[in-house]
Amino acid sequence: MLDQLFDLTYLNKAATFSIPDILLAMAISLTLGLFIFLVYKKTFRGVMYSSSFGVSLLAMNLITTLVILAVSSNLITSLGMVGALSIVRFRTVVKEPLDLVYLFWSITAGIIVGVGLIPLAVIGSIVIGLILFIFVNKKSTDTPYVVVVQCEDEQSEKNAIELLQRSTKRHMVKSKSVSKNGVELTVEVRLKDTSASFVNSLLAVNGVENAVLVSYNGDYYM
């Protein structure tokens, strides 16, 4: 009776885990996480770089590997883990679509390492990293811009459009706002070269009160 009472089955389960295998899996996951973090840092094209997001990619890789190791070792544990994770809700909004790619990459790499498919995780991560390096850092010579022009009347609006037509490769009116104070145009343009001197010429047009040139990334316009 006493033997059954002090039979610590919980500690006996710990013997089923091979500590060298766990350390090896976590070391490989850490290496892949650092690689994903490096690729994210080198391919980041935004204005405000978030170091916490890069660290989250590293931590998510390690945590996913740990979870998969636990799930693959015991059927009951896997069922309990699925039930526990099903109630988790993430409230953080990911605004950049490319950030979702890195999140999914980190989770996938952790899963593959956890199930022991090390070559697949390493080779796949290298291929994905090279593809992201090539395509994300690819410079485009045909950069879109948006020109916001404030005109006094219809005639000055017409003259401004004619100047844009001569000075740019392509233009398209995105919006037009008319009020008693005048007309405001928002025009998407493609420059013939890297020069933006035509904006100064817009101010020389009679009736043009203001002209603003802003970069346009396709997500919004002013």
Q: What are phi and psi of 216, to 5 degrees?
A: -125, 120
In this structure, are 148 and 130 located in the same domain? no
The answer as to whether 170 is a domain residue is yes
- Average pLDDT of the chain is 75
Length reported for the chain:
222
* First and final C-alpha spacing in the chain: 79
Q: How many Å is the maximal CA-CA distance in the chain?
A: 102
Asked if pLDDT for residue 146 goes beyond 50, the answer is yes
pLDDT band at residue 141 under the 50/70/90 scheme: low
29 plus 90 within the same structural domain: yes
Number of domains forming the structure of the chain: 2
In this model, does residue 112 exceed pLDDT 70? yes
Domain boundary residue, one of 111, 136, 161: 136
Mean pLDDT for 109-113 is 87
Q: Which residues contact 203 (CB under 8 A, 6 or more apart)?
A: 210, 211
Q: In the β-sheet with 144-151, what is the strand arrangement from edge to edge? A: 168-179, 182-191, 144-151, 208-215
What confidence tens digit (pLDDT) does each residue in 149-185 have? 888 888 888 888 888 877 777 878 888 888 877 888 8
Element (H or E) spanning 191, and its range?
strand 182-191
Domain with 161, as residue range(s), is 144-215
Q: Do 124 and 162 fall within a single domain?
A: no
Tens-place pLDDT, residues 189-220 = 887 766 667 777 777 788 787 887 777 654 44
Instruction: Give me the DSSP letters along 98-135.
Output: HHHHHHHHHHHHHHHHHTT-HHHHHHHHHHHHHHHHHH
Residue 106 placed within a domain: yes
The stretch 18-41 carries a mean pLDDT of 87
Task: Please tell me whether residues 124 and 159 are part of one structural domain.
Answer: no
pTM of the model: 0.60
The CATH number of the domain holding residue 162 is 3.30.70.260
34-80 pLDDT, tens digit each: 999 888 888 876 656 677 888 888 888 888 888 888 777 665 555 55
> Is 220 inside any structural domain?
no
Tally of CB atoms within 10 A around 60: 19
Residue 59 CB neighbour total at 10 angstroms: 14
Q: Is the pLDDT of residue 22 over 50?
A: yes
Q: Residue 12: pLDDT band by 50, 70, 90 thresholds?
A: low
- Is residue 20 pLDDT above 50, yes or no? yes
pLDDT above 80 for 131: yes
